[in-house]
Structure 1
């Protein structure tokens, strides 16, 4: 038997620590960033086209306004043509009202697109997390993962529903206004655009720095979420040892890091607004000074200068909006980096093809080695067979690898070397659902979901989902589990609080035992704490009867073996 893993399988000790952004941050590409954001709008083509159509109408209305104003000044005000002035004013009002309505429709449409994109993205992340092995969750804090699902995806939602169209609209408006400025008067137009060129060079030079600050802010927010989650999850221990001061200091440190990182991100994001404001003021000063000179020389009319100033405002106002949008874009790209880091992960527990072999053993370890990432070897050349119809006990000192062995038996991990066979077949060749049906596993600390006893039993046995309480109770009685169910005052309807805090540890173990044995697996694995919590006479006797009914041949007996 070869001691190496299948070449196509990822090693069991895959490092799953999420570390994106802790090293050098690459300079964000506008095109690359948008290309990574566009898949979030998959299936929204009709709505996106409608939003862009509304955006085009709104932009066209804004660009038409200055032409009407300039024409009105030159042709109607100077000539005191009041009917023409009224008609021109009504036309201008109609154009602006059309622009406002189109803008409203665009915001409403893209808001819906963003919310649906957020819904799909959160589902994708949660689905991916469910596909990842236990090793991933051992190496990453739950609080940081929650922050990625909630906070980071919310940043993307804001970008898609609000910022993206502002970005596109600003770019279109800037382009249109720039074309009009150059078309009305080439020399005056060039003079008006020069301050913008300088501001854009500064923006390009500082984009990496801004992204670094935003990414650091998101990372510290995830760290603070981890500290909060860890503190709330272990509050009983904190109170029991009177260490609230210690955890308060830890949370204060995490909060301080997030505060400083947020200040840094705010300072970075705040650079652009005054920069573009200063550019706009400088451009207006240049246009007014040069425009007055051209009017005096007879090369420009007053109405044309007013229209020109309006176009300068139409050019620089979106640029100031673009400064805010660019900061939001950097934040969205940083958030997408953290989300993308989770979505691209692959499980290191693939399903492989393997031939079936005849075996009297329900489970076999062949030359199994195992070590955790960065740790020393826990198992070395482990070899044993568990025969069908027998009970076994694995005995050893604390830290000797008993729980690790049980986890490998249930394929929560794959060995670093060697192989594990279930009923004569490589355990890696079983689909997860089939493996779960054949192996029942009760960990040292069983986890219960909020709800009722029935809900927690159905969690591991969906085949009984359609059963009424009476039918389900009968099924439990046929499985010899009714005596254990009687330990709960309201039976199947006994309420279970969050994390099972409303029941004792022994009752948690009873529910976990019923949940596992109701599946009638080929192999039942009870971690050491299970045995210690079932030592009361009636519970232990009942559990022994259930195990004998399911796992021992008729007339057989349980043999204990120690290793």
Structure 2
């Protein structure tokens, strides 16, 4: 990620008062949820198989209580039949009971499968229990396979999502990246995507299993008693009502939670990267206070989100327990009246639990679903960010290095133009130095050549080809750039130099290191070129880091070279040697050199003096010094000592 250009407008400070509060507008939960599920489309075959396995799992687990009810009826029938007259038929026993006025008991006997005088058939009961055990074992096996397949589908989806975000960041204009903290973007790419994966992992399987379980349980309950089923289904509208109210209140808190998480990560990233400066300026108490305030905001929003979403569980447990009591009482009355068997009531009570449990679990997953959708919305904002304009199809061919600015105008903001109607021609192989005060447009000028930003109007031509019609990859492959802010990745010194041109031979890499004096300090290190550079490159001095970046550009062998304060971090002696190396590097190449130390660009073919985005002077060093204009003033200000006026003391004092 590129740092913000020195000429770009400053971003507004991000103080604690600028955090997104809990009152932010609720996002589109339904639309974002559908889009999130749409990410699984490439895994649809696996998802179909997961659905089939889930149906098998739920079917086997749902019929278990019904079969188990048969075992209860078998035991109950045997226990009752043992006390009936042996040798008589069930019809005769029922008729006798009715004749004696025991109609309720007769109805109960009539519904049972029994033989008077015969006790419990334990073999039959054992076969029923083995069948139930088999159902549950197969159900557990299919659920295990389903969970494994679903986990693979989700992880592949998250892998693609990370690739999509990474590719998107590469297509987003630099203007967009400069407009937000790096920590905020990193939070979206890492924390939010991880949260999406965890949320989908924990909710998708439960949504499938619990949803199908509810359907299956309702079907099984209807086969037992339709009016008890109606009583049990009173819980559904209660669940929907409670869930809707909770989601309405807690969604905005989850959105704010992840907003504050990103802002806190951005602050931490900035503080840690500038840790030395924080210490030097004694700002540790202020940084700690700002962190505590941001951390406190995140804690308060997170507490609200978790508290509101957690209200679902106790409410649903109360509804489930109430439903359980009602079904047990009414079921007992039905058994006593002879309209239901004990096994049917036992199965129905189990189904009541099976019916309430998935409803409670679905309601308890509201916070996970909301958190995952809130993270998905933040990631979708990255994916929906405006992209760079389409690359052209023209080819540069053999690059000579002729650069022409044709009536170029540009501004970071439309209302504040920085460069207006600039025209310039640079001959191949020449060195162009660009000087001027801060904010004059020096870095912006070379960023426009790299197409980091698009022009407001005008054209930039490279060898008579408009760079706007050339693919960015091809354009930038012809340009080498060395910035004042060094960038080295975690790896060896050798690897960081080789980054300049993939496929370069060892001899070419070593020659680049020797030409830029990296070889001088690298061989003095204990591990030589195999010295591993840590993430912050703190095991090298700033000058050594700069030398490595220059060696990288040397190895790239570009046709057009851009040096932005490339020697600002090296000592005077090394700078002299680097001037010689860069003189060789600039040989037969068009070079743009941005410098504040004017002594380093005295040998430039052309010196451009910029003020407020316009070229106010141009010429060689000698020509500009003779003119005694803006360049003369800048040059002399670097070598004249400060004049201190001393007031003479009054005589006689």
Question: TM-score interval w.r.t. the shorter chain?
Answer: 0.7 to 0.9
Residue 508 of structure 1: aligned partner: 545
Q: Secondary structure at the match of 1:44?
A: helix
Deviations 1:225-256 (A, max 9, x none): 11211111111111222221121122212211
Post-superposition shift, 1:493?
Answer: 3.4
Deviations 1:281-328 (A, max 9, x none): 121122123223333443222222111111111111111111123332
Post-superposition shift, 1:407?
Answer: 1.4
Matching of residues 180-199 of structure 1 within 5 Å: 180-199=220-239
Q: 1:473 touches 1:482 (CA, 8 Å); kept in 2? A: no
Q: Which moved more, 1:331-340 or 1:105-114?
A: 105-114
Post-superposition shift, 1:436?
Answer: 1.6
Give the Cα separation in 1 of the matches to 2:364 and 2:224.
29
Q: Secondary structure at the match of 1:176?
A: helix
Residue 280 of structure 1: aligned partner: 320
* Aligned counterpart for 2:353 among listed residues 304, 313, 325: 313
Deviations 1:73-122 (A, max 9, x none): 22333312322222222222221122222222222222222222222222
Post-superposition shift, 1:507?
Answer: 2.3
Give the Cα separation in 2 of the matches to 1:471 and 1:440.
16
Query: Structure 1 residues 118 and 20, CA, compared in 2 at 3 Å: closer, same or farther?
Result: farther
Q: 1:389 touches 1:558 (CA, 8 Å); kept in 2? A: no
Residue 606 of structure 2: aligned partner: 560
Give the Cα separation in 1 of the matches to 2:157 and 2:378.
17
Q: Which moved more, 1:18-27 or 1:42-51?
A: 18-27
Q: 2:460 touches 2:466 (CA, 8 Å); kept in 1? A: yes
Query: Structure 1 residues 330 and 484, CA, compared in 2 at 3 Å: closer, same or farther?
Result: closer
Deviations 1:130-153 (A, max 9, x none): 222322321122222222222211
* Aligned counterpart for 1:140 among listed residues 176, 180, 204: 180
Query: Structure 1 residues 53 and 357, CA, compared in 2 at 3 Å: closer, same or farther?
Result: closer
Post-superposition shift, 1:201?
Answer: 2.1
* Aligned counterpart for 1:154 among listed residues 194, 200, 203: 194
Q: 1:441 touches 1:524 (CA, 8 Å); kept in 2? A: yes
Residue 523 of structure 1: aligned partner: 560
Q: Which moved more, 1:219-228 or 1:498-507?
A: 498-507
Post-superposition shift, 1:46?
Answer: 4.3
Q: TM-score, normalised by structure 2?
A: 0.76
Residue 64 of structure 1: aligned partner: 63
Residue 509 of structure 2: aligned partner: 472
* Aligned counterpart for 1:409 among listed residues 443, 449, 456: 449
Residue 36 of structure 2: aligned partner: 37
Deviations 1:360-403 (A, max 9, x none): 97222223222224873222222222222221222211122212
Within the alignment, does 1:111 sit opposite 2:156 as a pair?
no
Matching of residues 166-315 of structure 1 within 5 Å: 166-315=206-355
Give the Cα separation in 1 of the matches to 2:569 and 2:215.
74
Q: 1:442 touches 1:530 (CA, 8 Å); kept in 2? A: no
Query: Structure 1 residues 67 and 136, CA, compared in 2 at 3 Å: closer, same or farther?
Result: same
Query: Structure 1 residues 195 and 493, CA, compared in 2 at 3 Å: closer, same or farther?
Result: closer
Q: TM-score, normalised by structure 1?
A: 0.87
Deviations 1:136-184 (A, max 9, x none): 3211222222222222112222233332011111000011112222332
Q: 2:494 touches 2:529 (CA, 8 Å); kept in 1? A: yes
Query: Structure 1 residues 402 and 272, CA, compared in 2 at 3 Å: closer, same or farther?
Result: same
Q: Which moved more, 1:433-442 or 1:527-536?
A: 527-536
Residue 644 of structure 2: aligned partner: none
Q: Secondary structure at the match of 1:446?
A: coil
Query: Structure 1 residues 376 and 452, CA, compared in 2 at 3 Å: closer, same or farther?
Result: same
Count of residue pairs the alignment pairs up = 538
Q: Secondary structure at the match of 1:340?
A: helix
Give the Cα separation in 2 of the matches to 1:34 and 1:219.
18
Give the Cα separation in 1 of the matches to 2:417 and 2:20.
25
Q: 1:113 touches 1:160 (CA, 8 Å); kept in 2? A: no
Post-superposition shift, 1:540?
Answer: 1.6
Q: 1:361 touches 1:385 (CA, 8 Å); kept in 2? A: no
**Structure 1 alignment gaps of length 5 or more:** 1-11
Q: Secondary structure at the match of 1:383?
A: strand
Aligned alpha-carbon RMSD (Å): 3.0
Query: Structure 1 residues 335 and 290, CA, compared in 2 at 3 Å: closer, same or farther?
Result: same
Query: Structure 1 residues 20 and 133, CA, compared in 2 at 3 Å: closer, same or farther?
Result: farther
Matching of residues 37-116 of structure 1 within 5 Å: 37-79=36-78, 80-116=120-156
**Structure 2 alignment gaps of length 5 or more:** 1-7, 79-119, 592-602, 610-653
Query: Structure 1 residues 373 and 205, CA, compared in 2 at 3 Å: closer, same or farther?
Result: farther
Q: 2:501 touches 2:556 (CA, 8 Å); kept in 1? A: yes
